[in-house]
């Protein structure tokens, strides 16, 4: 047996030990959904396991490990009480093929791929077998709370690249009026379902299917203003009309957002692109504030929660965010 295979076999043997430590380190999370195992941060590189109550999604980011996917999945599955368990093979790094991810379902009895989870008192609909994403970005749990804790009745939030509107749900449950913008009608309908799960009247909020930059221009032309803007774009996206890159677009997105922001408002910008940094986001914010004659009163750098152990060390666990207060 070669040195690499010997080392990997030794790591596989330690999976129950890794799990025991992982459970202990995640105590106190106010949610039944979180990153249960985070690759090298929990002892085994190239593998993550996300918990959605009793539904589990294992992701493999290493091409060599993909050959052992079912074996690894069975080892992980033996350590947990799961109703549903799926493996997603994620070794592709182009960021544009997420809709074609290969999946292996190891357990789907007695449950289907769908479930409802609770995070900080809010409910979210999950489908573990819906392409690569499942309906809730777990690494944003702490940031959803931080961004929306100060929003109350009379506040307004613009939630751009809203995905399934989780930031909007947090804000709306605090009494805030929300506008969620995403290019996908399917995703916005999913967001409406999340509002309904939380007893929110979706008729009192907006779900706008639009390119975000086009929406920002229309909102500026209409003279709209918001108490808070959330800007969490994908690293890359592509459709028949255009190719989007967060790195190339961040300055413009932030500049237009600041023009829509009320005095003493807040803006949250973030990226999972491991090639970008807090310093990059801050430089875009400073430049945009100067060009729009806005003053940055304060800002905080934020990242992933404690369940994302080793955050920033590998591309599958990377998040940079800045929450800023603007005069």
Q: How confident is the model at residue 240 (pLDDT cuts 50, 70, 90)?
A: low
Over the stretch 47-75, which tens digit does the pLDDT of each residue have? 999 999 999 999 999 998 999 999 999 99
Q: What is the pTM of this model?
A: 0.92
How many Å apart are CA 84 and CA 115, to the nearest integer?
10
In this prediction, residues 35-42 reach a mean pLDDT of 95
Do domains 3-111 and 137-326 share one topology? The answer is no
CATH of domain 137-326: 3.40.50.150
Q: Has domain 3-111 been given CATH number 2.70.70.10? A: no
Q: What one-character DSSP code corresponds to residue 41?
A: G
Residue for token pair 């909020």: 205
Over the stretch 289-306, which tens digit does the pLDDT of each residue have? 999 999 999 999 999 999
In 3-state terms, what secondary structure has residue 299? strand
Hey, what are 168's tokens?
Answer: 């909007």
Judged by phi (left if over 0) then psi (alpha if -120 to 50, else beta), residue 39 lies in left
Note whether 237 and 244 are within 8 A (CB). Answer: yes
In 3-state terms, what secondary structure has residue 178? strand
How many Å apart are CA 102 and CA 92, to the nearest integer?
10
Closest CA to 233 of 269, 186, 208: 269
Identify the pLDDT of residue 99: 57
Identify the pLDDT of residue 93: 56
Summary mean pLDDT of the chain: 91
How many Å apart are CA 293 and CA 128, to the nearest integer?
45
How many Å apart are CA 179 and CA 201, to the nearest integer?
13
Q: Is the dihedral angle over the CA atoms 152, 154, 159, 163 positive or is it negative?
A: positive
Residue for token pair 């692109």: 273
Where along the chain do its domains lie? 3-111, 137-326
Asked if pLDDT for residue 6 goes beyond 60, the answer is no
Hey, what are 187's tokens?
Answer: 């995703």
Q: What one-character DSSP code corresponds to residue 59?
A: E
Over the stretch 279-289, which tens digit does the pLDDT of each residue have? 999 999 999 99
């Amino acid at each position: 047996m070669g040195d690499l295979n010997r080392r990997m076999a030794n790591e596989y043997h330690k999976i129950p030990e890794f799990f025991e430590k992982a459970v202990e380190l995640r105590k106190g999370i106010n949610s039944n959904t979180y990153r249960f195992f985070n690759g090298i941060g929990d002892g085994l590189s190239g593998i993550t396991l996300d918990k959605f109550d009793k539904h589990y999604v294992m992701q493999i980011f290493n091409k060599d490990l993909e050959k052992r996917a079912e074996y690894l999945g069975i080892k992980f599955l033996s350590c947990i009480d799961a109703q549903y368990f799926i493996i997603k093979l994620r070794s592709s790094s182009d960021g544009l093929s997420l809709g074609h991810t290969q999946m292996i379902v190891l357990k789907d009895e007695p449950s289907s791929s769908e479930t409802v989870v609770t995070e900080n008192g809010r409910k979210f609909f999950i489908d573990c077998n819906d392409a690569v994403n499942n309906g809730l970005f777990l690494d944003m749990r702490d940031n959803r709370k931080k961004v929306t804790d100060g929003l109350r009745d009379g506040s307004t939030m613009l939630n751009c690249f809203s995905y399934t509107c989780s930031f909007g749900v947090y804000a709306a449950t605090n009494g805030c009026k929300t506008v969620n913008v995403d290019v996908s009608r399917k995703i916005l309908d999913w967001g409406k379902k999340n509002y309904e799960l939380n007893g929110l009247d979706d008729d009192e909020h907006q779900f706008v299917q639009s390119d975000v930059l086009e929406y920002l221009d229309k909102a500026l032309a209409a003279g709209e203003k918001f108490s808070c803007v959330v800007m969490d774009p994908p690293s890359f996206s592509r459709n028949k009309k255009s190719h989007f890159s967060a790195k190339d677009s961040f300055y413009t997105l932030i500049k237009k957002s600041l023009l829509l922001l009320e005095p003493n408002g807040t803006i949250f910008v973030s990226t999972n692109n491991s090639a970008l940094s807090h310093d990059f986001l801050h430089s875009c914010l400073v430049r945009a504030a100067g060009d729009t004659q806005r003053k940055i009163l304060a800002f905080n750098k934020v990242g992933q929660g404690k369940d994302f152990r080793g955050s920033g060390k590998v591309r599958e666990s990377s998040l940079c965010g800045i929450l800023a207060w603007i005069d």
